[in-house]
Structure 1
Amino acid sequence: MEFRRALAHEWIKFRSVRSTVWTTAATAVLPVPGAVFVAATGSLQPDDTVLGGGLTFTVPALILAAVVGALVICGEYGSGTIRTTFAAVPRRGTVLAAKATLVAALLYALSLPAATAAYLTADALLDGDHAQGDPLPALLGVAAAFSVAGLLGLAVGTLIRHAAGSVATVIALLLLPSLLGPLFGEAERWIAGMSPTAALEKLIQSSDASVDAVGSLGAWPSLTLVTGYTVLALSAGTASLRRRDV
Structure 2
Amino acid sequence: MSTLTGRTPGFRTALAFEWTKFAGLRSTRWTMAATGLVTVAGAVFVGVSGSLQPDDTVLGGSLTLSIVSLMIAGVVGALTVCGEYAAATVTSTFTAVPRRGRVLLAKAVLLAVLLYGVAFVSCTVAYLLGGAILEDGAYARGEPLPALFGIAALFAVVGVLGLAIGTLLRASVGSVTTVVAVLLLPSLFGPLFGDARPWVAGASPTAALEKLTQTSDAGPEAVGSLGAWPSLALVAVYSALLLGLAAWRLRRRDV
Give the TM-score range, shorter chain: over 0.9
Q: Does 1:71 align with 2:79?
A: yes
Structure 1 residue 208 displacement after superposition = 1.9
Q: Does 1:5 align with 2:13?
A: yes
**Unaligned segments of structure 2, at least 5 residues:** 1-8
| Deviation readout 1:162-200 (Å, 9 max, x if unpaired) | 000000001000001112223334443332122211101
Partner of 1:38: 46
| Deviation readout 1:126-177 (Å, 9 max, x if unpaired) | 1121000000111001001100110110000000000000000010000011
**RMSD between aligned alpha carbons?**
1.1
**Unaligned segments of structure 1, at least 5 residues:** none
Where do residues 127-138 of structure 1 align in structure 2 (5 Å cutoff)?
A: 127=135, 128-138=137-147
1:118 counterpart (118, 121, 126): 126
Whether the 8 Å contact between 1:192 and 1:198 is mirrored in structure 2 is yes
2:205 counterpart (196, 202, 208): 196
For residues 218 and 237 of structure 1, what CA distance do their matches in structure 2 show? 29
For residues 197 and 130 of structure 1, what CA distance do their matches in structure 2 show? 23
Whether the 8 Å contact between 2:199 and 2:223 is mirrored in structure 1 is no
1:235 counterpart (241, 244, 247): 244
Whether the 8 Å contact between 1:148 and 1:196 is mirrored in structure 2 is no
For residues 150 and 223 of structure 2, what CA distance do their matches in structure 1 show? 17
Partner of 1:166: 175
Output the amino acid matched with 2:121: P
Structure 1 residue 57 displacement after superposition = 1.3
Structure whose alpha-carbon radius of gyration is higher: 2
Output the amino acid matched with 1:138: A
For residues 187 and 141 of structure 1, what CA distance do their matches in structure 2 show? 26
TM-score computed with the length of structure 1 as normaliser: 0.97
Output the amino acid matched with 1:175: L
Partner of 1:81: 89
For residues 78 and 44 of structure 2, what CA distance do their matches in structure 1 show? 29
Whether the 8 Å contact between 1:182 and 1:212 is mirrored in structure 2 is no
How many residues align structurally? 246
For residues 60 and 42 of structure 1, what CA distance do their matches in structure 2 show? 20
Partner of 2:219: 210
| Deviation readout 1:80-99 (Å, 9 max, x if unpaired) | 00000000000000000000
1:47 counterpart (38, 50, 55): 55
Which secondary structure does the structure 1 equivalent of 2:202 belong to? coil
TM-score computed with the length of structure 2 as normaliser: 0.94
